Chain A
């Protein structure tokens, strides 16, 4: 392999026929990425016998200007500018046969403010390219010049908190269960009970749209009755994520308009509606003072395996640009995939204005967010009040903790479940602020709070042994310095 450019130049570059990608200008080891370049980091696993540098150059080529053969029409363009340039190839530690390819793309390759356009290039054709066994998009550096072309989160963490008048603690939510089958009337009952008991939010599940057992309008009407009753009963602002996911944009707008008309503070969409629909809803949400919750339905089909797909950290970056306000980003301790370090990386991407390169968290680039609104991460799936100290430690304060089963499954009912969670949370925040070592004293702090709160005592008893300790399928490769192969 080579450290110097082997790009063919001049007339010979455009002789008809097939030429290796690495000779066509897609491998430029001397290239210094510009501040305005988009940079993508791929994990490339070439087919046996394929030269790694050529494979990486091919990824650069196929995700930008190249086709399989030389074309003379390149000469009608500023082709060298438009070619993506792989400028660094490094073996992936402890993963024989896989290589990190750093590829720089000129800003002019992308339409401003369009995730669809960005992804059509970066993950468009190239993932099916035959000389590769597998390909994974690990991370991206989005230049400020590009970030500034996006709206970003419609509301953002700060304004969401101001609107809800809730500061200094994680927000609490619950997904209504069972996720399918409840009538609108029964569904609204769950919302009312959970909110009155102390939660801030309830949530539709990803696959609750408009089915024979519950038409969407029915759900919205009964949910808002529950929300308003709970608001009057507590004096707090309450909300429920009304899922407006539907078959067409027209349907989604209709549902979102109805949610707004009923006074909901928040609506919800699923990742499966697609990037363009997400951006449309984000613009709608900004126009209508609505918080926009995103459920990452479907993401594990491409985020979970290390060798192939797209890392969730990239999806989180795209979603911050696209403009949602909430995104499910893992719990660490719950039932769904996510090791602590990788999850920390996702949370930083959502919430910080600047992400320094932190390889141990899987963050490969410095990323400036240029004051783009912050995106509230949501922790959901298999968590309960007894884990409050761990949740606060791993996930921090700006997060929505969603206890679905952990609220509705409480032996004394939904209100009791909600109260248990809220008391556990407030007790933990109080202790943390008092300077106590809440991570280690967590069980003690909870037990003390349970002395004056029977619902919490019951919750701690019933879920005391519930943990989900399985090995993670996607953890950082933990390389403080990547080793160049060349």
Chain B
């Protein structure tokens, strides 16, 4: 399966040039670009690991792309996303977020159903990958 979180998951994977253009867009808006990674892509896993702090002061897309390359070098077997953070009043939140790296295999999620009262069902979504400990969840990892 393909995890379709983020703004561009239905398009073919973005090239570095395309990613650079999106980063540039964020910078022109005055947003801080942030790189995060995870090996638990559960839809409600809000807090992916941060690759350093949001780059509040970096004003050059090339610098950010260098950070992305470094992050990919270390965590290339995981999901990596980039986001643009807008600190202006009334938002103070993410304004753009998209996946820029995926594991080679995406095993997806199991839907567990717990039959409860009447016909009601309690649903739990569980990523197959989290059956293994963090850090060893995707193929090719030590």
Interface residues of A (CB under 8 A from B): 158, 161-162, 165, 167-169, 198, 221, 224-225, 228-229, 231-237, 261-263, 353, 371, 374, 419, 422-423, 426-427, 429-430, 433-435, 449, 452
Contact = CB atoms under 8 A, between A and B. Distances in A.
B119 interface: yes
B109 A232 contact: yes
A430 B108 contact: no
Contact of A235 (B22, B93, B108): B108
A426 B83 contact: no
Contacts of B4: 198, 234-236
A229 B111 contact: yes
Interface in B84-142: 84, 89-98, 108-111, 119-123, 125, 127
A167 B108 CA distance: 22
B11 A232 contact: no
B126 to A, nearest CB: 8
B92 to A, nearest CB: 7
Contacts of B93: 158, 161-162, 167
Given A168-B97, A371-B89, 5 more contacts: A374-B90, A426-B8, A426-B11, A430-B18, A434-B21
A235 B109 contact: yes
Interface of B: 1, 3-5, 7-12, 14, 18, 21-22, 25, 41-44, 46, 83-84, 89-98, 108-111, 119-123, 125, 127
30 contacts: A158-B90, A158-B91, A158-B93, A162-B93, A162-B94, A165-B43, A165-B97, A167-B93, A168-B7, A221-B121, A231-B111, A232-B125, A233-B109, A234-B3, A235-B109, A236-B4, A236-B5, A236-B43, A237-B44, A261-B120, A263-B123, A353-B90, A371-B89, A423-B11, A426-B7, A426-B11, A430-B8, A433-B22, A434-B25, A452-B12
Contact of B10 (A161, A228, A262, A426): A426
A228 B111 contact: yes
A346 to B, nearest CB: 19
A167 B83 contact: yes
Given A168-B97, A235-B43, A374-B90, A435 B10 contact: no
Nearest to A452: B12
Given A165-B46, A423-B11, A433-B22, A235 B5 contact: yes
**Closest 7 A/B residue pairs (Cβ):** A168-B96, A235-B3, A232-B111, A433-B25, A228-B123, A232-B109, A168-B7
B25 to A, nearest CB: 4
Contacts of B11: 423, 426-427, 430, 449
B5 to A, nearest CB: 5
A237 B42 CA distance: 9
Contacts of B94: 161-162, 167-168
Nearest to B126: A232
A423 B120 contact: no
Given A426-B8, A433-B25, A231 B3 contact: no
B94 to A, nearest CB: 5
Contacts of B95: 167-168
Contacts of A221: 119-121
Contact of B21 (A235, A261, A263, A435): A435
Nearest to A427: B11
A198 B5 CA distance: 10
Given A168-B96, A435-B25, A235 B41 contact: yes
Contact of A167 (B7, B41, B46, B123): B7
A196 B64 CA distance: 33
Contact of B108 (A233, A429, A452): A233
Nearest to B127: A235
Contacts of B92: 158
A198 B42 CA distance: 17
A255 to B, nearest CB: 14
Contacts of A225: 121
A452 to B, nearest CB: 6
Contacts of B5: 165, 235-236
A389 B121 CA distance: 41
Contacts of B123: 224, 228, 263
Given A237-B44, A262-B120, A435-B21, A169 B109 contact: no
Contacts of A231: 43, 109, 111, 125
Contacts of B18: 430, 434
A426 B21 CA distance: 15
Contact of B43 (A237, A427, A435): A237
A234 B3 CA distance: 5
Contacts of A433: 21-22, 25, 96
B1 to A, nearest CB: 7
Nearest to A261: B120
Max chain B C-beta neighbours (<10 A), residue from A235, A236, A353? A235
A317 B110 CA distance: 43
Contacts of A427: 11
Which of A167, A233, A261, A262 has the largest count of B CB atoms less than 10 A from its CB?
A167
A148 to B, nearest CB: 16
Nearest to B90: A353
Contacts of A224: 121, 123
Contacts of B98: 168
A419 B2 CA distance: 13
Nearest to B123: A228
